[in-house]
Structure 1
Amino acid sequence: MIFTPDHPPQGTIRDWLNSRAADGGTAIVFPETGEVLKWAALRDTAAAMAQAMYNQGIVKGESVAIIHPNGKDGVLAIYAALYGGFRATMINLAAGPDAIAYALEHSGARFALVHDSQRETFAQVAPDGMQRLDPARGGAAALPALSPDDHALLMYTSGTTGKPKGVVHSHSSLLAGGWTTAVAHALAPEDRGFCVLPIYHINGLCVTMMGALVSGGSLAMTARFSASKFWDQADQAQVTWFSVVPTIVSHLLHGAASPTPALRNRLRFGRSASSALAVETQSAFEARFGVPIVETMGLTETAAQILSNPLPPGIRKVGSPGVPFGNEVRILDAALAEAPRMQEGEIAIRGPNVMREYLNNPEATAQTFAGEWLRTGDLGHMDADGYVFVTGRLKELIIKGGENIPPREIDEVLYSNADVVEAAAFARPCPRYGETVEAAVALTDGSGQTGADLVALCQSRLGKFKSPDIIHILDELPKGPSGKIQRLKLSDLIPAPQAAE
């Protein structure tokens, strides 16, 4: 099957993987282990694993939890679920025990593909009756026919309520997510992307994995990002582009390592997504390394990319995530009508890459759409050239290192302590992570609880990454006329700690 810039991909992921296997060539290299995964071997193994899954009692369209870090086994697990016609349910390993347990329960999955390193996590949080699959148990089960409209992916994202929402993508919308990336970045079979972001996030899964599948290119994949090894790994793997988040751009900029002249000449671009990239950081990176950074914007609900700056020599407007590729973008006014150019409103998206629904949540699904347009919850305006500039968020998500952290989820953990009368988590600007997490509480009179005690509580429930770095104890939290805590005032009301970056 052939990638064309003018039309979204047709067919299913099984069709595309079969086509790539027939063409031959390398799919993914793993610099840390030296492993090489060919397209044909990837397809054959995925097909055999899918047959084994049917032999163990899974039915078409059923959720299958995938609890894997980046690596060969994780790639095979994802493609096995997609190839077999199951709903690949990606579990965010950084989400903390509560969120993982919720996703496993809410997804309705009866079975999970579990990496050896995640067995303990699975044992702690898996719902009663959920079973680990044995992907080696083969058989001659026939695979059912698939349709582009069949469910392919279930990935959980978080909102201000604190309850993660399960985003459902079909084969067609998932392939379209890879296609929008391939169109924007003119990906070709000779391109090799560098995947250092988790494949249980939409960026790692769609931008790199689906982008390579649709374009016929290949990937280099590492278990995680390493600032000290990044350039050496990219050089060794002969990558031509990479996808990162602003935190990584900053880490590389402030690191001692640099690309070799050969790598610098080979790299066509790097792309940044997940949150706004500081103008100063982008300019300094390009000046130091000579590698252009293309700022983009995407959502889980849109199979990643919705906006991108053009590649050089096209006009890249620093401070803007760019223009739409493969989908349409408009700015909605308060009446949900299209706003004129330069007027601020809510950014909305329409296109083949838009999700099908939030699983088992028709109310949230209905609220997210205005007709055919998906409402992003982000505020922005569009200039005369069609470039979008993001000016704020309607939602109160904290974005730390590209990871969305709903403050309400932290609030609920704090409120589980009987001495906590009022609680609100909030974002603190941070040059390293974009934002870090803090919280403020008011306690009962005479309480002996300390901020450190409450931080420990959060870490036990949510994991260290999502927990506040510091919790401030106040007499009373600021409130509006209705008595609602004014979360967004806290970072201005409370002085930044001396140790904060």
Structure 2
Amino acid sequence: MNNHSNRTMRELLDSQKDNNEIAIMAPDKPSLTYKQIYEYAGDLSAALNQFGIGLGDRVAIIMENGPELILSFLATTMKATAFPLNPMYKEEEFAFYLEDIEARALITLPEANELALKLAKPGMVIIQANPQANGSLTFELIKGELPARPEQWAGADDVAMLLHTSGTTGRPKRVPLSHANLIASTSNIVSTYELTSQDRSLCILPLFHIHGIVASALSTLASGGTLICPKGFSARRFWDLVHTYKPTWYTAVPTIHQIILTRVEEHEEIVKNNPFRFVRSCSSSLPPVVLERMEKAYNAPVLEAYGMSEAAHQMTSNPLPPKSHKSGSVGIGFGVDIGIMDEEGNLLPDGEIGEVVIRGANVFNGYDENQEANEESFTDGWFRTGDQGMKDEEGYLFLTGRLKELINRGGEKISPFEIDDVLLRHPSVVEAVSFGAPSKMYGEEVHAALLLKEKVNEDELKTFCSDYLARFKVPVKFHLLEEIPRGATGKIQRTKMAELLGLTT
């Protein structure tokens, strides 16, 4: 039921306004039909205008995953710009982001009301979202009096959503995504995985992150399918949700896939009785050994994709069978042009390694009020991703590392992905993160942080790695941790690992 003529979030909902099929299901909450979502989101957007919020205004939303967040997001995009925030942030982090984007309004659920009032700056509107018994929401003005704004719907080029980069260095940059960007990305995802109204997506990623909101939520709604939306990811409850709701697919980051995989043997009957059509992985590199284990356990294709905020999420993906999906590759471009560029801005032929560059309707026009970053990031209409990779003769993209994450040992550029994959093949290793640590002799040496399921000594690990890796790639030091440090969206903080482990002083 995907309509490629949609240009805005409102038009996407309008195309489904007479659809009485279930759009969103959530544990212990009423299911919502497409028709209800159209009506409820429309009413909420009208309330924003009454509260003095309109086009150009940036509206922060602090909520955990659920239908309430999706309704608030959709309503906000219709009339203003949505800025969903991680509800687990500390007060200082909220204060930074709200000030950085110059938020005009803040929407929260009743339980976060006290925090919202504490965070409110002079002139900021505080809106409380009140869940109703029928699954709808009402917006209640808690603080801030502004003149009502006339009804004006957002157009394709208006900014629907604002995000911050999850960059590993420096101050986060603001990424404005237009309605056209979001619609293009959702259309690409629907096309990639041939999503239909018969599909059910289990959303286990945070909706304040581009992966969750676009790949799980908006793409499902664009296809006419059903979104299953629990409060968040729970390893303990995942297979119960699969048993209850019977999703046909889900998408997650590699960390979550690995956690789910550790419990799969306990739930063999559920896996057998509730087969996935496919499973998707994105946001960081999926080690080939994990992909192999997943496909064996699920008897379904595991399709690795490649995305980033600046592209409204998806850039490439491995295709569905019968087309080839290649272990170690993030696939081909769907609706997105993919190139490999050298430092001088020349496009390179297949087989050569360089910086991955992209262009397409899903790619943003530039960072918000950051001319320097924009000049560095765009070359002849191509956006430079900061990732290193190469394309094979069939156009499949292979990432060799984040340019800033590559380990530079005496001039030898080493991909941490390659080392991670080898370490994860050791039977005692649960998680592995290789990284560069300062070295007086080489500039950087290879280190690795590990989470083990049983004890193993360092010499054995080095010997194991030596069977697969050249000597200069073998980690000189292993750091055994009880937990691998991660950012708010589950991404490994590879470039910060040396600092976090006290190796930079």
Given that 2:185 and 2:314 are in contact with CA atoms closer than 8 Å, whether structure 1 keeps it comes out as yes
Aligned residue for 1:363? 372
The one of 334, 350, 356 aligned to 1:347 = 356
Q: Which moved more, 1:352-361 or 1:87-96?
A: 87-96
1:38 paired to 2:21: no
Partner of 2:125: 131
Cα deviation for residue 175 of structure 1 reads 1.0
Q: Between 16-25 and 254-263, report the one with greater CA deviation.
A: 254-263
Q: In 2, distance between residues paired with 1:197 and 1:397?
A: 27
More off after superposition, 52-61 vs 91-100? 91-100
Paired residue type of 2:11: D
Deviation at 1:382? 0.5
Structure 1, residues 31-84: CA drift from partner, whole Å, max 9, x if none? Answer: x2142011111121111111111111112121000111101211111011012x
Task: For residue 495 of structure 1, report the CA deviation from its aligned partner.
Answer: 4.5
Q: How many Å separate the matches in 2 of 1:376 and 1:393?
A: 9
The answer to whether residue 40 in structure 2 is matched with residue 22 in structure 1 is: no
Letter in 1 for 2:325: R
C-alpha deviations, 1:309-353, integer Å up to 9, x for none? 111222110011111111111111121111111111001111111
Indicate which of 377, 380, 383 corresponds to 2:392: 383
Q: Which moved more, 1:132-141 or 1:355-364?
A: 132-141
AA aligned to 1:77 is S
Cα gap change, 1:9/1:210 in structure 2, threshold over 3 Å: closer, same or farther? farther
**Structure 2 residue identity aligned to 1:144:** Q
Is 1:181 matched with 2:176? Answer: no
**Which aligned pairs between 1:259-274 and structure 2 lie closer than 5 A?**
260=269, 264=273, 266-274=275-283
| Alignment partner, residue 218 of structure 2 | 210
Amino acid in the other structure paired with 2:2:
F
Equivalent residue, structure 2, for 1:147: 155
Q: Secondary structure of the residue that 1:229 maps to in structure 2?
A: helix
What is the CA distance between 1:121 and its match in structure 2?
Answer: 4.7
* Aligned residue type for 1:108: E
Deviates more, 1:180-189 or 1:51-60: 51-60
Work out whether 1:101 is the aligned partner of 2:84.
Answer: no
Report 1 or 2 for greater relative contact order, CA contacts < 8 Å, sequence distance ≥ 6. 1
Match of 2:7 in 1: 11
- Higher mean displacement: 339-348 or 232-241: 232-241
Provide the C-alpha distance between the structure 2 equivalents of 1:226 and 1:261, rounded to a whole number of angstroms: 16
Q: Which of 44, 48, 56 does residue 49 from structure 1 map onto?
A: 44
- TM-score, structure 1 normalization: 0.77
Stretches of structure 1 that go unaligned for 5 or more consecutive residues are 399-428, 441-476
| Aligned equivalents of 2:441, 2:82: Cα separation in 1 | 43
Alignment correspondent of 1:170: 178
Counterpart residue number, 2:109: 115
The two structures, once aligned, show a CA RMSD in angstroms of: 3.0
For the 8 Å contact 2:109–2:128, the answer to whether it is kept is no
Secondary structure of 1:271 counterpart? strand
- 1:309 corresponds, among 318, 324, 330, to 318
Q: What corresponds to 2:333 in structure 1?
A: 324
Q: Which runs of 5+ in 2 are unaligned?
A: 130-137, 142-147, 408-422, 449-474, 485-505
- Letter of the aligned partner of 2:184 in structure 1? A
SS of the counterpart of 2:266? coil
Query: Secondary structure of the residue that 2:18 maps to in structure 1?
Result: helix
Partner of 2:16, secondary structure, is helix
Cα deviation, 1:135-185, whole Å, max 9, x if unaligned, reads 535899763133211110001113344311111111110111111111110
Kept in 2: contact 1:9–1:214 (CA 8 A): no
Whether the 8 Å CA contact 1:235–1:260 is kept in 2: the answer is: no
Residues 153, 480 of structure 1: CA spacing in aligned structure 2 closer, same or farther, 3 A cutoff?
A: farther
Instruction: Please tell me whether residue 220 in structure 1 is matched to residue 228 in structure 2.
Output: yes
Aligned residues: 424
The TM-score with structure 2 as length reference comes to: 0.77
In 1, Cα distance between equivalents of 2:21 and 2:250:
20
Deviation string, structure 1 residues 167-212 (Cα, Å, up to 9, x no partner): 1111110111111111110001111111010000001100011102
CA apart distance, 1:496: 1.4
Within the candidate set 391, 404, 412, 1:395 is matched to 404
8 Å CA contact 1:51, 1:138 repeated in 2 = no
Q: Tell me the secondary structure at the aligned position of residue 391 of structure 1.
A: strand
